């Protein structure tokens, strides 16, 4: 459901509601009605020791692992962690770098890292973004629109002194998601594609509510986190050359305790109010 356009842009904000369970699909399971859609889907990853940049833990990153490990035949292995660690090492002293040549046993044709800027509120690995562009024949569900995974290291509340510091890191991470996609679109697609890859610009970003759940030891409300994610994304969408046309927010259900009663609410419902202001 389209809510509105981001202020000062022609880019639409869309709320995705779950169809069959409490959670939205992380990739298209059937082709979208618009054949021009090229989507990057945000995977809320991890910075925990021993599982840094890994895919395959519980929650959102577990959902990605379940789909990609079967599609790309790496059940029990962690090739994306290897890619991400290599990129992070290659980017030492830099905000961004990329790899454009992969062996046949990897499911990606191009991968990029975008670190947060030096003045970020993010601590340690938080806010780091990877864009993993799938090989043409290894896209999830064999659907062309499922073009890339946008692996994000979500801020972990335990690293921050105050709730405000944590929320500011969440906003900076959301900004860096758009910054990464813009960097990729501008410098590595169409006629700028490296290594004769003919990469397409990402025009659709699917975003989950990252840094909630066990990352949120401050117990900040989902509405507050959603608002900071929204404002971080909106702040970066004013360039005329983003190629981005649509941002989809996964409006998953979660259970909360309110006045002693168990109730059910959704992750990004507050966007209706924010975008009506």
Asked if residue 157 lies in contact with residue 51, where contact means CB atoms within 8 angstroms, the answer is no
Each residue's pLDDT tens digit, 187-201: 999 999 999 999 999
Which of the four pLDDT bands, split at 50, 70 and 90, describes residue 277? low
In which residue are the tokens 């946008």 written? Answer: 150
* Segment 36-57, tens digit of pLDDT: 999 999 999 988 878 899 988 7
Rounded percentage of the chain residues whose pLDDT exceeds 90: 75
Distance CA 247, CA 230 (A): 10
Q: Encode pLDDT of 128-160 as tens digits.
A: 999 999 999 999 999 999 999 999 999 999 999
Q: Where are the domains of the chain?
A: 2-22+35-274
pTM of the model: 0.94
Query: What is the overall mean pLDDT for the chain?
Result: 91
Q: What's the average model confidence in pLDDT over 75-86? A: 93
Answer yes or no: is pLDDT of 266 > 90: no
pLDDT of residue 264: 60
Candidates 3.40.50.620, 3.30.565.10, 3.40.220.10, 3.40.50.300; CATH matching 2-22+35-274: 3.40.220.10
Return the pLDDT at 257.
43
103 class by beta-carbon count within 10 Å (0-12 exposed, 13-18 middle, 19+ buried): exposed
Residue 240 has pLDDT above 60, yes or no: yes
């Amino acid at each position: 459901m389209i809510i509105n356009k981001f202020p000062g842009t022609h880019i639409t904000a869309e709320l995705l509601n779950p169809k069959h369970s409490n959670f939205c699909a992380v990739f298209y399971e059937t082709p979208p009605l618009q054949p021009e859609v090229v989507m990057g889907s945000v995977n809320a990853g991890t910075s925990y020791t021993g599982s840094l940049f890994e895919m395959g833990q519980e929650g959102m990153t577990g959902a990605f692992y379940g789909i990609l490990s079967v599609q790309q035949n790496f059940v029990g292995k962690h090739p994306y962690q290897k890619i991400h660690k290599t990129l992070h090492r290659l980017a030492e002293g830099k905000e961004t770098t990329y790899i454009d040549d992969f062996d046949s046993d990897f499911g990606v044709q191009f991968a990029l890292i975008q670190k947060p800027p030096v003045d970020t509120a993010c601590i340690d690995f938080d806010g780091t973004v990877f864009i993993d562009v799938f090989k043409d024949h290894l896209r999830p569900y064999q659907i062309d629109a499922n073009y890339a995974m946008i692996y994000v290291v979500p801020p972990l509340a335990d690293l921050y002194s105050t709730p405000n510091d944590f929320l500011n890191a969440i906003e900076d991470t959301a900004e860096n998601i758009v910054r990464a996609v813009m960097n990729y679109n501008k410098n590595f697609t169409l006629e700028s594609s490296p290594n004769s890859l003919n990469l397409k610009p990402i025009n659709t970003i699917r975003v989950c509510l990252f840094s909630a759940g066990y990352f949120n030891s401050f117990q900040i409300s989902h509405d507050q986190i959603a608002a900071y994610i929204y404002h971080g994304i909106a702040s970066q969408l004013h360039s005329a050359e983003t190629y981005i046309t649509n941002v989809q927010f996964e409006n998953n259900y979660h259970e909360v305790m309110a006045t002693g009663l168990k109730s059910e609410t959704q992750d990004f419902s507050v966007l209706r109010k924010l975008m009506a202001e």
